[in-house]
Amino acid sequence: MSHDGVGEVTEALAGLVSDFKGFQQKITQKMQQQEERLNMTYQSQRPQLSTAEMVEAPHQKAMDAYLRSGDDDGLRALTLDGKSMNTAVSAEGGYLVDPQTAETVKSVLTSSASIRSIASVVNVEATSFDVLVDRTETGAGWATENGATAETDSPLFDRISIPLHELSAMPKASQRLLDDAAFDIEGWLAGRIADRFATAEAAAFVNGDGVDKPTGFLTYGHVEEQSWNWGLLGYVATGASGDFDASRPADAVVDLVYALGAKYRANASFVMNSKTAGAVRKMKDADGRFLWTDSLAAGQPAQLMGYPVLIAEDMPDIGADATAVAFGDFGAGYTVAERPDLRVLRDPFSAKPHVLFYATKRVGGDVTDFAAIKLLKFSVV
């Protein structure tokens, strides 16, 4: 091969080596980029192992600072910058709690042994909630091809207004405890508020007089089922004063179930307190089978004649003329209206060296369908 031919081959080989090195560099860069992307994905998806790695949302940091020291700069900044629609400044210095705390309170209220858990719950922004109830049946009739059609009855509507009342709780904590960085102040506050609210709500939904509190369903007048009319609750008598009938105690429970209209029974529940439940669960039918069935699944209520039982301790004990058992479709019969916000006012002055947290929420409740709830009265008639 000539000298020129050798040079050409050498030059070609050098070009190939250069191209290969460039290709190798591109492959290496691509692999590095892919590895970086994988690491970023892993870092974002892996569980947080320590509180040091957790990144608080702005509203959580701001609320924590406010609860610990009263520093409201973060809350005001969030409001003024429009970064959070869930944190607002009020003229009197109270602040709406962050969504996580509000959701914790709501979860406890919903899962508690309260009428709320089986009633209809609506969120409103006004000072009251109006319900239109059709309490009559629209008329209907058969028509012939050539005959005149007769006019049928028109429905009648009742308007029930449910005012919202202010429900409050005021837990307190020492300033030393608040200064402890390891103290979960938001979780503590949510738990204390939820407990107080649940207790107050449960009592009002059953026995509230409607004055600065919801109207309880037992505060309405009640009449024997055969004489029932709108605005009252119908009852079934047990046949014995202050007790079940001695010879056929279960008959009253059966009569109570079938006193309720068929359209309500599908979603109906029993409501009674623990003492009454202790007496009812011993009942058997004519074949010796217990009417009461304990739930086999965790978190599910026991059943009486196939219907769930809500244990509400604010229901009266068995006694003369007591309406100690209620049965009905409370989703149709009772409505809870509430504003979704929860306000907290920090007070470090009234109970030194403790700090008070005055929490308020607006809620109302009332019977919205008097045909959907029936009572068991422990009386002869």
- Summarize pLDDT for 225-236 with one digit per residue, the tens: 999 999 999 999
**Residue 312: pLDDT above 50?**
yes
Q: Which residue has better confidence, 34 or 362?
A: 362
For residue 155, tell me if it sits in a domain. no
For residue 49, tell me if it sits in a domain. no
**Residue 325: pLDDT above 90?**
yes
CB 366 within 8 A of CB 335: yes
Mean pLDDT over residues 307-326, rounded?
96
Q: What is the pLDDT of residue 94?
A: 53
For residue 264, tell me if it sits in a domain. yes
- Domain housing 373: 220-333+368-377
Q: What is the pLDDT of residue 86?
A: 39
Q: What is the pLDDT of residue 190?
A: 84
For residue 284, tell me if it sits in a domain. yes
Q: Which residue has better confidence, 125 or 39?
A: 125
Task: Look at 122-131, 147-156, 295-304, 368-377 and tell me which has the smallest mean pLDDT.
Answer: 147-156
**Residue 260: pLDDT above 90?**
yes
Q: What is the pLDDT of residue 327?
A: 98
Q: What is the pLDDT of residue 44?
A: 46
Q: What is the pLDDT of residue 77?
A: 52
Tens digit of pLDDT for each residue in 54-106? 445 555 666 667 677 666 655 555 444 444 433 444 444 455 666 666 777 77
Q: What is the pLDDT of residue 51?
A: 42
Q: How many domains does the chain have?
A: 1
Tens digit of pLDDT for each residue in 348-361? 888 888 889 899 99
% residues pLDDT > 70 (the chain): 69
- Model confidence at 313, pLDDT cuts 50, 70, 90, reads very high
For residue 82, tell me if it sits in a domain. no
For residue 278, tell me if it sits in a domain. yes
Mean pLDDT over residues 100-115, rounded?
77
The CATH number given to whatever domain includes residue 262 is 3.30.2320.10
For residue 285, tell me if it sits in a domain. yes
Q: What is the pLDDT of residue 90?
A: 46
For residue 282, tell me if it sits in a domain. yes
- Model confidence at 108, pLDDT cuts 50, 70, 90, reads confident
Q: Which residue has better confidence, 42 or 128?
A: 128
Q: What is the pLDDT of residue 306?
A: 93
- This prediction has a pTM of 0.73
Q: What is the pLDDT of residue 49?
A: 39
Q: What is the pLDDT of residue 96?
A: 63
Q: What is the pLDDT of residue 88?
A: 42
Q: Would you call the peptide bond into 308 cis, given omega within 30 degrees of 0 as the criterion?
A: no
Q: What is the pLDDT of residue 295?
A: 81
Q: What is the pLDDT of residue 48?
A: 46
Q: Which residue has better confidence, 22 or 247?
A: 247
Q: How many residues does the chain have?
A: 381
Highest mean pLDDT among 73-77, 149-153, 163-167: 163-167
**Residue 271: pLDDT above 90?**
yes
